Amino acid sequence: MSYIDIVPIGEIEDALLLHLQQSIFQTFRIQTRIRNRQFDLSSVYDPVRDQYNSTGLLLQLINDTSPETLRILGVTELDLFIPIFTFLFGEAQLNGKGALVSTHRLHNQFYGIPENKELLRIRLLKEGIHELGHTFGLIHCFTLRCVMKSSTYVEEIDQKSTNFCKECEQEVLRVRDGKNL
Amino acid sequence: MNNEAVGILVVDDEFSVRDSLYNWFKTEGYRADTAEGGMEALKKLQESPWDIVLVDIKMPGMDGMELQRHIKKIDSGIVVIVITAYATVDTAVEAMKEGAYDYLSKPVDPDKLSILIRNAVNQRRLVAENLQLRQKVEELSLQDEIVGESPQIKKILEMIDTVAKTDATVMIRGESGTGKELVAQALHSKSNRRYFPIISINCGAFPEGLLESELFGHEKGAFTGAQYKRKGKLEMANGGTIFFDEIGNITMKMQMDLLRVIETKQFTPLGSNKVVNVDFRVVAATNTDLEKKVAEKEFREDLYYRLNVFSIQLPPLRERPADIPLIARYFLEKYARSMNKKVTDISPESMKVLVQYDWPGNIRELRNTIERALVVVGKKNRIEVDDLNLLFLPKTEPLGRNSLEEVEKAHIKRILEQSEWNISRSAEILKIDRVTLYNKIKKYDLQR
C-alpha cells in the first residue's frame, strides 16, 4: 500500500496534525500516516536571517522515506526561507515526492492579532494540500477559489477554499490513478 | 497571454538563486530557464525568444549592466529586471537609466516579485500589442485601392465582387506592376474570411529549401540554422487567404507538395511528425505564360487546373491610358499626405507626359514616379515635367506627339546624363561637334 506520509518537524500540536491527516485523505483519497523522524536543524539554520533553509529541510525530508511512501509532507513551526525570498509558506517538488509547509506565518499572532486556532487549522490544511498539489504536477491556478491559487500573503490563503477546481482535481486524479494505487 | 506563453530567463551566478527562482516560476506556470552568467544568457537569448530576463548585477565576467546593454541590442522589447544584493539607489538608478524595467534587492518578498512579474508581463503584452497595431495601421494606410474608370477596370471590379464571396481559387494574371497583389487583397477583404489574415508569399523570392520551410514551418533542429520552432505561412493563413505570388516560379517538387496541401488542407511541418489541419482560400498570381509551361512540362497540369478555377487578367497600364490621370492624382494625394507636402496638382504638361508614356513597369512605375516627383518638387505646389524624370529612363521611347525641339532637348539631356556630362563623349554619340553641343545646351538651358 502507498501512503502520503505526514512528518512533523519539531513540535506540532497533535490535534492539528490529526485534522490535517484526515483532510488530506479525504482530498486525495490516498492512505495517510503520521511518521516521526529526526532532523538536523542546525545545518539548515541561518543565524543572520534567524530562519531555516526550506530547500535544505526538504532534502532531508525526502532522503529518508519508506518504499510505501508515495508522497511526503513535512509540517513545521519553523520560519522558512530560500536565499532569494524573505520567507516561504511552503515548498514542494513539482512532479516530485516531497512537500514542506510552515505554520510560522499562518498564526494570527505573527501579524499582531489574537490567535485563532480554527483559522490556523484551515490555513495549514490549504497550504498542505497546495504544496502536495505541486507534487502531483499542478502549477498555480487562476481560479479564484481553487486551493492551487498562488498565495504570497496570508490574506490570499484565506480567500481560497480547501478544494481543487474541476480541472486541477481531474489532473490530480489522472496522476493518482496512473500510479495504480 | 497565459503564463505558459511567457518566457522568463534567470541570470545569476549563485546556484541557489537560480534554482529557487526557476522552481518558483515553474510552479507559477511560466516557461523558465536559467543561465549562470552573461555569455550563457546571451546564447540562450539567441536560441529562443524570452519576454522577461532577471539579471543579477554582480556577476563574474560580464556584469549585469553590460548584459542588460547586450539584451537591449538583441530585442529592445525584452523586460529586464535587475536583481542586486548590493541595493543602493545609485545602482538602481543606473540600471533604470539603461532601460531596466525595475529592480529587486535580495532577498525578495514573494508577493513583491509576484506583482512585479505580473506587471512586467502586462507591460510586455502592451508593447507587443502596440507594435502590432502600429504595423496594422501602417499596412492599412499603405494599402492602395483599385483606381480607375476604364471599361477594363470596371470589369475587373465586377469580377472581384462576383468571386470574392465564394471560396473558389483565383488565378490573377498580368504584367509586373499591374496590381495583382492589390486584387488579391481586395478578394480577401470582400470575402467572409476578411477577419482572418491574408498571408502573402513571393514564391520567386525563395530557394526551394527555404520556400518549403517558409510555407510549412519547421521544428527546432529540423535543419542547420533552425534554431527554434517556427510556424509556417500555411498555418498562419488558417481561416484566411494565402496569396502565392509568382506561382510560375516554383520547382516541380514544390508544385507536388503544394498540390497535396491545396487538395487535402493538411501538411506536416519540417522535422515534425504531427499533421496540421488548415483551412484557407488560395489566390495565386503570375506574369509568366503558365499554359506554355504546362505544354513544356515545366508546370504540373493538375496544379494548373487546381489554381486556375477563376482567372482574372489585369490589363497593362498602357492599355487603359484613360485611368492614368486618376491613378496619378490618387498617388499624389496619398504621398503628399504621408510626406506632409502641400502639392495639390499635376501640371497639364506633366499629365500629358504621364498619359503618353508607355509604362513598362505599369502602376508600380507610375506610383514610384509620383512619389519621386514629390521628393524633388521642392516648395512648388504642383508637379511639373522636370520633376517627373521619365524622359531620362532608358526604356522611354521618344515622345511621339511632341515637337522636334522637345524630342531633341530630351535626347541630348539623356545622352549627357548617360555620359555623366562628358561633353566629348556625348558629342561623339550624338555625332555633332562639341561647339554645336555647347550651343544646344545653352539653347535648351540644360543643367546638370
Of the pLDDT bands very low, low, confident and very high (cuts 50, 70, 90), residue B268 is confident
Which residue would you say has higher pLDDT here, B137 or B205?
A: B205
Of the pLDDT bands very low, low, confident and very high (cuts 50, 70, 90), residue B142 is low
Dump pLDDT digits (tens) for B329-362.
Answer: 999 998 888 888 888 899 998 998 898 888 888 9
The verdict on a CB contact (< 8 Å) between A83 and B26 is no
Give the pLDDT confidence score for residue B406 in this predicted structure: 82
Which residue would you say has higher pLDDT here, B425 or B67?
A: B67
Asked if residue B419 has pLDDT above 80, the reply is no
A55 touches chain B (CB under 8 A): yes
Cα(B234)–Cα(B216) distance, integer angstroms = 6
Cα(A147)–Cα(A143) distance, integer angstroms = 9
Dump pLDDT digits (tens) for B361-377.
Answer: 899 889 999 999 999 88
Give the pLDDT confidence score for residue B184 in this predicted structure: 93
Cα(B86)–Cα(A113) distance, integer angstroms = 34
How many helices and strands in chain A, by DSSP H and E? 5, 9
Give the pLDDT confidence score for residue B323 in this predicted structure: 92
17-36 of A, contacting B, C-beta below 8 A? none
Dihedrals φ, ψ of B281, to 5°?
-105, 140
Mean pLDDT of B241-262: 91
89-108 of B, contacting A, C-beta below 8 A? 106-108
Q: What value, to the nearest 5°, has the Cα angle with vertex A179 and ends A174 and B3? A: 40
Q: Which of A41-55, B208-222, B236-250, B382-396 has the lowest mean pLDDT?
A: B382-396
Give the pLDDT confidence score for residue B156 in this predicted structure: 93
Give the pLDDT confidence score for residue A128 in this predicted structure: 97
Cβ(B235)–Cβ(B278) below 8 Å = yes
Strand-pair category, B266-267 with B7-11: unpaired
Give me the tens of pLDDT residue by residue for chain A, a chain 181 residues long: 899 999 999 999 999 999 999 999 999 999 999 999 999 999 999 999 999 999 999 999 999 899 999 999 999 999 999 988 999 999 999 999 999 999 999 999 999 999 999 999 999 999 999 999 999 999 999 899 999 999 988 999 999 999 999 999 999 999 998 864 4
Dump pLDDT digits (tens) for B269-291.
Answer: 888 778 888 999 999 999 989 99
Q: Which of A7-16, B215-224, B275-284, B309-318 has the lowest mean pLDDT?
A: B215-224
Of the pLDDT bands very low, low, confident and very high (cuts 50, 70, 90), residue B223 is low
The verdict on a CB contact (< 8 Å) between A83 and B109 is no
Asked if residue B126 has pLDDT above 80, the reply is yes
Cα(B155)–Cα(B160) distance, integer angstroms = 9
Which residues have a Cβ under 8 Å from the Cβ of A179 and sit 6 or more positions away? Answer: A2, A70
Of the pLDDT bands very low, low, confident and very high (cuts 50, 70, 90), residue B194 is confident
Cα(B328)–Cα(B347) distance, integer angstroms = 12
Q: Which of A55, A139, A153 sits opposite B28 (nearest CB)?
A: A139
Cβ(B78)–Cβ(B52) below 8 Å = yes
A152 touches chain B (CB under 8 A): yes
List the beta bridge partners of residue B56.
B83
Dump pLDDT digits (tens) for B165-189.
Answer: 899 999 999 988 899 999 999 999 8
Give the pLDDT confidence score for residue A129 in this predicted structure: 97
Give the pLDDT confidence score for residue B93 in this predicted structure: 78
Asked if residue B324 has pLDDT above 50, the reply is yes
Give the pLDDT confidence score for residue B222 in this predicted structure: 62
Asked if residue B395 has pLDDT above 50, the reply is no
Percent of chain B whose pLDDT exceeds 70 = 91
Asked if residue B316 has pLDDT above 80, the reply is yes
Of the pLDDT bands very low, low, confident and very high (cuts 50, 70, 90), residue B97 is confident
Looking at residue A89, its amino acid is: F
A181 touches chain B (CB under 8 A): no
Of the pLDDT bands very low, low, confident and very high (cuts 50, 70, 90), residue B399 is low
Q: Where are the strands (E) in B150-231, listed by range?
A: 170-173, 198-202, 217-218, 230-231
Q: Which of A55, A94, A153 sits opposite B20 (nearest CB)?
A: A55
Mean of all residue pLDDT scores within chain B: 85
Give the pLDDT confidence score for residue B91 in this predicted structure: 76
Asked if residue B201 has pLDDT above 80, the reply is yes
Give the pLDDT confidence score for residue B315 in this predicted structure: 93
4-33 of B, contacting A, C-beta below 8 A? 14, 16-17, 19-21, 23-24, 26-29
Of the pLDDT bands very low, low, confident and very high (cuts 50, 70, 90), residue B396 is very low
CA distance B53 to chain A (A): 16
Cα(B11)–Cα(B411) distance, integer angstroms = 68
Percent of chain B whose pLDDT exceeds 90 = 31
